[in-house]
Amino acid sequence: MPVEQAVKRFGGIDVLVNNASAISLTGTAETSMKKYDLMNGVNARGTFLCSQVCLPHLAKSSNPHILNLSPPLSMKSKWFSGHVAYTMAKFGMSMCVLGMAEELKDQGVAVNALWPKTVIATAAVMNLLGGEEAVAASRKPEILADAAHLILTKPSKEFTGNFVIDEDLLRAHGVSDLSKYLVTPGVEPLPDFFVD
């Protein structure tokens, strides 16, 4: 099992980042059950399972964190319309944050979510969500890495149950110039889904 192999090789687990995701921005009639099952299997079930399997090892860490790349919960219909199955799957990850943060706080295991304010230059954006034009109007993944680092270095007993937007967190920590994260200098990035 990969978790046991990681523990054997590195001596434990301090951080779990649930980042894997499956996406299909299709309407209800166009979403096959195979795609539905894939999205919910990878996003919601995968997050729950990885968290469950890592929990005994995280509980032994001095500063354990689970970080889900998932959006803030919002029951606004605009975030469901046009891609109900995908939103359900991503919000499944966010519901894990909501529930597990409360459940695990007495064990000192932090559970938080991180989400981009803008589109991020990823393979999904290139291949599924707009191609080169969308990538050109995106931010680099490094913005999420820097935000994740800030979250994962916070004391786990003091910072849990949060739905963090990358840009907001960086600005709160004194980063005022975000231009280094632009894929195309001078081009404002497109807003991401799920951010009001």
Mutual angle of helices 2-10 and 46-58, in 10-degree steps:
30
Whether 142 and 148 have beta carbons less than 8 Å apart is answered as: no
Of these residues, 86, 91, 115, 181, which one is catalytic? 86
Q: Which DSSP string do the residues of 47-87 spell out, in sequence order? A: HHHHHHHHHHHHTTSSS-EEEEE-PPP---GGGTTT-HHHH
CA distance 72 to 183: 25
Helix residue ranges, H only, the chain: 2-10, 33-39, 46-58, 84-104, 123-127, 131-136, 142-152, 166-172
Yes or no: say if 122 and 134 are a contact pair by the CB < 8 Å rule.
no
Q: Tell me if residue 86 is catalytic.
A: yes
Separation of alpha carbons 27 and 4, rounded Å: 39
Decide: 188 and 136 in contact? Cβ < 8 Å: no
By annotation, the residues acting in catalysis are 86
